[in-house]
Chains A and B, each alone.
Chain A
Amino acid sequence: KAGVTQTPRYLIKTRGQQVTLSCSPISGHRSVSWYQQTPGQGLQFLFEYFSETQRNKGNFPGRFSGRQFSNSRSEMNVSTLELGDSALYLCASSLGTPRGGTQYFGPGTRLLVL
């Protein structure tokens, strides 16, 4: 079974630009969660999508948004990039059952904002 895949793996953008990251979950998984990992703040939850609906949301500004498609693939978008958005963005997929189920993480997309 293929694992969680994320594209692209590396990205360089400049301040003010916008970026879209993609995540393909494990086949059969309906929940996709996104996390931001930085040296200063560690791993922080951005949002979770389940069956194309945002089910949970973290404490990030509205510049961070996401969506999920009918095949459970998910994208997250960051508009008007700031230097502080430089981070490793991780997505995790799970069955999304009420008890959650094991979350499997992808390798991440490393974003550098100049």
Chain B
Amino acid sequence: TQLLEQSPQFLSIQEGENLTVYCNSSSVFSSLQWYRQEPGEGPVLLVTVVTGGEVKKLKRLTFQFGDARKDSSLHITAAQPGDTGLYLCAGAYTGTASKLTFGTGTRLQVTL
């Protein structure tokens, strides 16, 4: 059973466009993380959000944790080809921070 649904599953955009990826769940998480994975590599952590309503910015990436800590979004401004990859959200429950529940993934392709 997949507890974290991401949308869209696939996204192909041109350089300079903006995009938003959504991560939704019926469960409340104590923290939520976003990762990016490139072919042949393991996921790399982008950000961790822990407080409901929290917004974090990482250069052109903006992450938001829902007020109820059940959902999150990732917004990329002016996408670049280097943003291409598989974006994964992952939730952790209190007391089991090393046991992550991963989302279904969003595969992003940014072309010139």
Q: Is the CB of A90 within 8 A of B98?
A: no
Interface residue A62 (Cβ < 8 Å from any Cβ of B)? no
A94-114: which have CB < 8 Å to B?
94, 96, 98-108
Residues of A within 8 Å of B44, CB to CB, are 105
Q: Identify which of A11-19, A38-46, A65-73, A76-84 touches chain B.
A: A38-46
With A42-B103, A42-B104 known as contacts, the answer to whether A96 contacts B98 (CB < 8 A) is: yes
Dominant SS at the B interface?
Answer: strand
Interface residue B45 (Cβ < 8 Å from any Cβ of A)? yes
Q: Is the CB of B42 within 8 A of A48?
A: no
Q: Is the CB of A90 within 8 A of B100?
A: no
How far does the Cβ of A1 sit from chain B's closest Cβ, in whole Å? 15
* Count, chain B residues at interface, CB 8 A: 24
Q: Is the CB of B92 within 8 A of A108?
A: no
10 example contacts (A-B, Cβ-Cβ < 8 A) are as follows A35-B102, A42-B2, A42-B103, A45-B102, A55-B98, A56-B99, A90-B43, A100-B97, A101-B97, A102-B48
How far does the Cβ of A53 sit from chain B's closest Cβ, in whole Å? 13
How far does the Cβ of A57 sit from chain B's closest Cβ, in whole Å? 9
Q: Which residues of A contact B (CB under 8 A)?
A: 4, 31, 33, 35, 41-45, 48, 50, 55-56, 58, 90, 92, 94, 96, 98-108
A33 contacts which of B35, B95, B98 (Cβ < 8 Å)?
A: B98
Q: Is the CB of B102 within 8 A of A108?
A: no
Residues of B within 8 Å of A102, CB to CB, are 45, 48
Interface residue B73 (Cβ < 8 Å from any Cβ of A)? no
- A43 CA to B35 CA in the complex, in Å? 12
